[in-house]
Structure 1
Amino acid sequence: MLPSLSEEQVRALRRVGRAWGRVSAAPEVWREALPVEPDIGSFPAKAEASTAWFGRVVPLTPLRARAAEGRAVPVPEGGGPAEAGSLVRRVLIGAPLASSAFVKERMRKLVALPVLSADVLSSVAYAPEAMLAVLVLAGTAGLTYSLPIAAIVVFLMLAVGVSYRQTIRAYPHGGGSYIVAGDNLGPVAGLVAAAGLMTDYILTVAVSIASGIAAVTSVLPGLRPLTVPLGVLVIMVLLAGNLRGIRQAGSLFAAPTYAFIIAMLVLIGYGLVDAARGGFHRVPAPHVPVTEAVGVLLIARAFSSGATAMTGIEAISNAVPAFRPVEWRNARTTLTWMLGLLITMFVGIVALIHLTGVVPTSRETVLSQLAHLSFGNGWFYVYVQAATAAVLLLAANTAFNDFPRVLSLLARDEYVPKMFLRLGDRLAYSGGIVLLSLAAALVYVAFDGRTNALIPLYAVGVFLAFTLSQSGMVVHWWRRRDPHWRKSLVFNATGAALAGLVLLTAGISKFTAGAWAALIAIALFLLVTTSIKRHYVTARETLRLRPHAVDLPTRVEAGPLAPAARTADGLQADRETEEIPGEIHHLSVVPIATMDLAGMRTLAYAASLGQPVLAVHISVSEEEERRFRAYWSLWGNHLPLQTVLSPYRALVAPLVHYIETLHRLNPDLTLTVILPEVVTRHRRHQILHSRTAGRLRRGLRHLPKIVITTVPFHLPC
């Protein structure tokens, strides 16, 4: 959270400190003038966290105040909208997790398999049907191409799957398409890959839920009019589940995935045994009218539709840090399991379709027809449909794990707002999860929850990311030339060539069917992210510490800094009875996050008032706390500083707790909280910067004698 200072900025900080020393009172004078004891307590230490089922749970309680001289500290009264809202959040997503729980929130292989593979494994429920839905346009003659096309898709699965095993080995700390393409092909290629991934993840949620609702309505046709509301409801359930944290999401969603795997293996095994009894005699497909001749374009469309079975195959390489140690080894093992299950189920379903002569219909899914043929209307048919619906509805969880992670990487590189960089209460990227839910719900509603309408948009984004990622790996091996680099290069080159072929095929064959919309979305993504990057670069350059650019306080002598007299009790302060200036005793509190021009201007303004000043820094880690104190010492330690360690990655809530506790310990003081505020030239850019002042004002407005003021710093953009 705390940006590092360059050597030039460190030198500038020292010069500014020397200039402060010439116009300001000595540091010890400022410290002696403080009418409060700054060290008023701490949040619960990591060792005091209570253990629960899902890791360390630490409620975000107020600071445990150290009352000076035995004075009792008033206990904050409960109730009010803020407390009610906090209670609702705790009920829905649970108490905050301390940062020390992050290791406990990592996944073992048996949990990671369903969480990260639900998308790709569940695709066997709709990818073979999507392939047949194109071939059936050519009648019986078109259906004969199903086996050769399926064989090519399986070869593609093997090539890309093995290629991603090489990616995990080369990037053991997580190497999704964005990182690999950006590192090896340049920032623009990385952004294009990220755009493809983001589009794919949004469509993954929409397509998976549309397919799951279709499985439900195959069994319960009366629910078809409720397709859209049911899908939106499922998205909201996924949103709430993922906001609770990755480990809880894995525990919630593992059972349906394993139930689906069992259902598919039993269905395939039973169907093949039944076919073996009849000598594998193929049942002729029913006559279907010919609406399109067999041609290259038709075959290409069928192939790209069948290749949607691979969407989500890179999820494990994206999420290597989410595994338990040794992360990369567990990730490779899980990828191998996933690949074996995917090929087995895809080949088995296509073989059963070929042997039974089943064709797609608008009334019933292909899987439902296969289950009917094998089990009739018995309980196992219901089990197959229920497991299929459940895994399809929850397969979107793969996107909920990877979309926020990619978004956080983009935020780290300043291509999207930095609010997506922060972990939420439950160690999940809450901002990205909410954004994905809103975008997926919008797409789902816009297409009325129809799977066939969404599929054409699906393949372009994911295979664009595949192509760039594997091409980047080719460049990586060529540059590094590690042991066995030639073998790895061949694997990745094969994967890049095949993924590029699918991308070209899908882009051409499905352009008019909706692929154009995905291409436009990718272009808009590039336009927006590059614009955000330019703004952040300009803002960082403007805020950078430079000699002769820092505001200094007017000359402040020791006289005005005499310690304020305390009242005998806090009754006067609580009644707010001061009516003349002499009855008001001040303390200026300056929350400061970074030592930049905006922060230095705020410190200069506070010091120029001639009243006692206390600077407060909220640190999200002990390392950041040490680094900030080092910068403060380089500056000259001119003003008193109190650092507060927040073990929950939160900034505003701990700051509110600190100021509230300071007020209750010293009710006779008027606390003026002085905040730096970055003001952008265009209102649309304001979302890219912190809005701490407004949040802090809302959090403290119920307390008397606390004033919030801001010192604006105007950016030229």
Structure 2
Amino acid sequence: MAKVTDLVKRLLVGRALRSGQLHEQLLPKRIALPVFASDPLSSVAYAPLEILVALSVAGVAAYTFAPWVAVAIVVLMFTVVASYRQTVHAYPSGGGDYEVAMTNLGPNAGLTVASALMVDYVLTVAVSVSSGVDNIGSAIPFVAEHKVGVAILIVVVLTVMNLRGIRESGGIFAVPTYAFVIGVLGMIAWGLFRLGVRGEELTAPSAGFELHAEQNGSTLAGLALAFMLLRAFSNGCAALTGVEAISNGVPAFRKPKSKNAATTLAMMGLIAVAMFVGVIALALASGVKAAETPEQLVIDGRPAPPGYTNEAILPQVASAVFGHDSAGFIFISAITALILFLAANTAFNGFPVLGSILAQDRFLPRQLHTRGDRLAFSNGIVLLAAFACLLIFVFDANPSTLVHLYIVGVFVSFTLSQTGMVIHWTRLLKTETDRQARRHMIRSRAINGFGAVFTGLVLIVVLVTKFLLGAWIVVLAMPVLFVLMKGIRGHYDHVSAELEITEDYEPTMLPARNHAIVLVSKIHKPTMRALAYARATRPSSLEAITVGVEGEEARQLQEEWERRGIPVPLKMLDSPYREITQPILDYVKHLRRRSPRDVVTVFIPEYVVGHWWEHLLHNQSALRLKARLLFKPGVMVTSVPWQLHSSDRLKGRPEPFAPGSVRRPWERTAEDEEQLKTRG
């Protein structure tokens, strides 16, 4: 069974990699782009539509504001990209926003950024996968009927792919990501050619729909108009999610790391902006209609049915550009659904790295800092998948509900990170004397300063427009994570202080005597081995202890002990209430009270079994007793194993390498290396 399990693991995850092979997992720019930028690139599939939905409350006339909203988002995108290019050069260790805030604004700001990013990464997976399932469900009824199960299955598949390592998963995701980019850019180019050169008219499937304003009249004015525009802007800001992932993933790039990361950021920004602007332009030119509520739409002269949902924007534009049911339309529709799934990969690369850094700083469990078989942060990957599946289950894989929780966290990290960068450059300027270097720092500070102000304003807009729609959940979750991480750090600090060697500690101080006790239930081979081992340790005193539960059995044990002439005295403990554990604990306590400077070593014979069900039949008393003795100061517990024949099946079995258990190269023995070769 163990060999079968190991074989399945090797088939799914791949052979284990040595720590020395970490450099082989580093990414060139062409692979890093789909690995870290799939989320912002894929946002073109829903961000433009969200803008039109927000504007629809004022009717079709409000669509004239869409280009201006798009321009504001483009300016924001370029600002954020330019700001993060400064970050990857200044902080190339992979800490990203967390490191910037922690270093320049203090631990509280750093943990605020960390909690915001962790929430946003989980939401990225949940929203992206739910959106992909929603797209497929419109064409395949079975998926629509079982969308929660399908979404969780997709998360599991993505988890397995990422457990295979960042380079291998990047190679898998590169082809569909580039296919999506080429397909969308090709669609935009052909659509603009038809409009501008041929002078043809483009017609989207929803162009004939009638769109009515929610309010009386077709226009809004004053505060209502401003709120509508701000909401449209905040909806479109979903295009910026995932931009920060590259700053967290700098260590995964090939050398020169910072330069390659900055170049990848610029490539991502240019491609994302080109696709975003192109899709918005073609959607408006082809007459795409989207409504916030079905009551606003009239389709073929009749009101839209209550359960009507807006058709995805890319298939509509593809239908207008290539023709419905054409090869181009089918390709765009299929690749859009696929890229929405793969958008979650940005979080699968950002969350584990952030978790590793937080674990290294003792704000999260240390297991998140270690690498698994494939040199990926396996525990972080599994933890992200578990939380994403929980969200998908709780919110019924409904992207419309989940999307309102989105982007709050990322703009918290944007704002605090850029503020921290301003402080970073200001601090350096105080000591820098080189004129050219100062000019560079002043320019960088201006970029980060503008980014801090801009993203801070966007954060306020997002909170105001989305708070009651569900963003309050994120606002609540972030402080919970903040307090949790503070508590974990407090625990680690307390344990560290408790274990620290102080001046009054005497490491050479030895106990006065060592009283050894061997627990005996009956006279058999395990008992004789435990007695022999206890005698070999040469304790100050040695005695065997048994608990007399049944009088006749106790008398027979005493007689056999004397008949065999065992050279260790046997002490019978009385147990009128048929307890086994408590009489032994009382006796050990008595020895400790009589000689506080002495130690008591308890030797417990234990069976080594080969089947899980045998654990239920053996060693139960020993486990209960050990669990109680471990809390007794001055008491040492030693297990003396006796291998039953059933354990032979496990002999020679390779050591199970759990996620995060791969040893450092200098900790490995020759046997470890041989096992790795065998497993490979």
User: Which aligned pairs between 1:69-84 and structure 2 lie closer than 5 A?
Assistant: 81=2, 83-84=3-4
Query: Is the contact made by 2:29 and 2:264 (CA closer than 8 Å) also made in structure 1?
Result: yes
Note the residue ranges of structure 2 that are not aligned, 5 or more in a row: 292-308, 517-523, 539-595, 603-607, 609-625, 633-637, 652-680
1:553 aligned counterpart, secondary structure: coil
Note the 1:475-494 alignment, pairs <5 A.
475-481=423-429, 483=437, 484-494=440-450
Change beyond 3 A, Cα 1:583–1:321: closer
> Match for 1:373: what amino acid?
A
CA distance in 2, matches of 1:332, 1:119: 17
Between the aligned partners of 1:472 and 1:315, the Cα distance in structure 2 is 17
Q: 1:539 aligns with which of 479, 495, 499?
A: 495
Could you say which residue in structure 2 is the equivalent of 1:271?
191
Aligned letter for 2:214? T
Q: Say if 1:218 and 1:368, in contact at 8 Å, map to a contact too.
A: no
Q: How far apart are the structure 1 equivalents of 2:385 and 2:182?
A: 29
Q: 1:406 aligns with which of 354, 368, 382?
A: 354
In the other structure, the counterpart of 2:12 is 92
- Kept in 2, the 8 Å contact 1:181–1:190? The answer is yes
Matched, 1:364 2:311: yes
Task: Answer with 449-458 or 321-330: which moved more.
Answer: 449-458
- Check 1:550–1:516 CA distance in 2 against 1; reply closer, same or farther (3 A cut): farther
Corresponding residue for residue 126 of structure 1: 46
Tell which deviates more after alignment, 352-361 or 339-348. 352-361
Tell me the distance in 1 between the aligned counterparts of 2:495 and 2:642.
25
Pick closer, same or farther for the CA change 1:88–1:365 going to 2, 3 Å. same
Question: Whole-Å Cα distance in 1 between the matches of residues 498 and 410 of structure 2?
Answer: 38
Distance 2:84 2:630 in 1: 44
1:178 aligns with 2:98: yes
* Preserved contact between residue 122 and residue 347 of structure 2 (Cα < 8 Å): yes
Letter of the 2:465 counterpart? S
Q: Does 1:451 align with 2:407?
A: no
- Counterpart code for 2:473: A
One-letter code aligned to 2:341: L
Measure, in 2, the Cα distance between the counterparts of 1:154 and 1:113: 19
- Deviation of residue 581 (structure 1)? 3.0
CA contact (8 A) 2:395 2:401 kept: yes
1:245 alignment counterpart: 165
| 1:553 matches 2:473 | no
Greater RCO, CA 8 A, separation 6+? 1
Change (3 A) 1:610 1:577: closer
Secondary structure at the aligned position of 1:364 is classed as coil
Q: How far apart in 2 are the matches of 1:577 and 1:528?
A: 47
Q: Number of paired residues?
A: 518
Alignment CA distance shift 1:358-1:412 (3 Å)? same
Q: 1:220 Cα deviation (Å)?
A: 3.4
- Report the counterpart of residue 230 of structure 2 in structure 1: 300
Aligned pairs (5 A) from 1:377-416: 377-416=325-364
How many Å separate the matches in 2 of 1:149 and 1:411? 40
State the distance in 1 between where 2:488 and 2:628 align.
19
Q: Is the 8 A contact 2:526 2:642 kept in 1?
A: no
Contact 2:136 2:337 in 1 (8 A): yes
Equivalent residues in 2 for 1:189-588, closer than 5 Å = 189-221=109-141, 223-277=143-197, 279=199, 286-292=209-215, 293=220, 295-360=225-290, 362=309, 364-375=311-322, 376-481=324-429, 483=437, 484-549=440-505, 552-554=509-511, 578=528, 581-582=531-532
Amino acid at match of 2:192: L
Cα distance per residue 1:179-200 (max 9 Å; x no partner): 1011000000000011111111
Give SS of 2:528's match.
coil
Counterpart of 1:324 in structure 2: which amino acid? R
Distance 1:119 1:680, change over 3 A: farther
- Mapped partners of 2:327, 2:536: distance in 1: 75
For the 8 Å contact 1:218–1:363, the answer to whether it is kept is no
Alpha-carbon distance between aligned partners in 2 of 1:133 and 1:697, rounded to the nearest angstrom: 71
What's the CA shift for 1:279?
A: 4.2
Deviation at 1:676, TM superposition (A): 13
CA offset at residue 360 of structure 1?
2.6
RMSD of aligned residue pairs (Cα, Å): 3.4
Given the superposition, is the C-alpha separation of residues 175 and 416 from structure 1 closer, same or farther in structure 2, using an over 3 Å criterion?
closer
Rounded Cα–Cα distance in structure 2 between residues aligned with 1:337 and 1:131: 24
CA distance in 2, matches of 1:587, 1:88: 44
**Which of 57, 60, 70 pairs up with 1:150?**
70
Mapped to 1, the partners of 2:629 and 2:31 lie a distance apart of 44
What secondary structure does 1:104 align onto? Answer: helix
Flag the 1:586–1:340 CA change in 2: closer, same or farther, 3 A.
farther
Change (3 A) 1:334 1:96: same
Aligned amino acid, residue 276 of structure 1: G
Report the TM-score, using the length of structure 1 for normalisation: 0.67
Alignment partners' CA distance in 1, 2:341 and 2:482: 30
Tell whether the 8 Å contact from 2:95 to 2:354 is kept in structure 1 after alignment.
no
User: Is the Cα–Cα contact under 8 Å of residues 100 and 420 in structure 2 kept in the other structure?
Assistant: yes
Larger radius of gyration: 2
Superposition deviation, residue 329 in structure 1: 1.0
What's the CA shift for 1:201?
A: 0.5
Scaled by the length of structure 2, the TM-score of the pair is 0.71
Over residues 87-126 of structure 1, what are the superposed CA-to-partner deviations in whole Å (9 max), with x where a residue is unaligned? 3322221222110010001111111010111011001111
Q: Given that residues 190 and 321 in structure 2 are in contact (C-alpha distance below 8 angstroms), is that contact kept between their aligned partners in structure 1?
A: yes
Going from structure 1 to structure 2, the CA distance change for 1:697 and 1:140 (only over 3 Å counts) comes to farther
Give the secondary structure class of the aligned counterpart of 1:359. coil
Q: Which amino acid aligns with 1:344?
A: A
Partners of 2:190 and 2:63 lie apart in 1 by: 23
**Alpha-carbon spacing, 1:539–1:282, altered in 2? closer, same or farther (3 Å):** same
Whether the aligned pair in 1 keeps the contact of 2:94 and 2:353 (CA below 8 Å) is no
Is there any run of 5+ residues in structure 1 with no aligned partner, and where? 1-79, 561-573, 589-604, 612-655, 657-674, 682-692, 706-717
Partner Cα distance (1:697, 1:212) in 2:
55
- CA change 1:576–1:112 in 2 (3 A) is same
In structure 2, the CA distance between the partners of 1:269 and 1:508, relative to structure 1 (3 Å rule), is: same
Q: Which one-letter code corresponds to 2:460 in the other structure? A: L
CA distance in 1, matches of 2:427, 2:197: 56
CA 1:427 to 1:272, structure 2 compared with 1: closer, same or farther past 3 Å?
Answer: same
Q: 1:115 maps to which residue? A: 35
* Corresponding residue for residue 39 of structure 1: none
Q: C-alpha separation between the residues in 1 aligned to 2:527 and 2:630?
A: 35
Alpha-carbon spacing, 1:579–1:386, altered in 2? closer, same or farther (3 Å): closer
Shift of 1:578: 3.4
Indicate which of 74, 84, 95 corresponds to 1:164: 84
Give the secondary-structure state (helix, strand or coil) at the position aligned to 1:464.
helix
Q: 2 CA distance for matches of 1:678 and 1:256?
A: 58
Q: Deviations over 1:256-279 (max 9, x none)?
A: 101100110111111111111464
Q: Percent identity?
A: 39
Q: Give the CA deviation at 1:353.
A: 0.9
Q: Is the 8 Å Cα contact of residues 214 and 365 (structure 1) preserved in structure 2? A: no
**Counterpart residue type for residue 452 of structure 2:** A
Counterpart of 1:341 in structure 2: which amino acid?
I
Contact 2:49 2:313 in 1 (8 A): yes
Residues 204 and 399 in structure 1, CA contact (< 8 A), matched pair in contact too: yes
Structure-1 separation of matches of 2:253 and 2:48: 31
- CA, structure 1 residues 677+347, in 2 after alignment: closer, same or farther (shift >3 Å)? farther
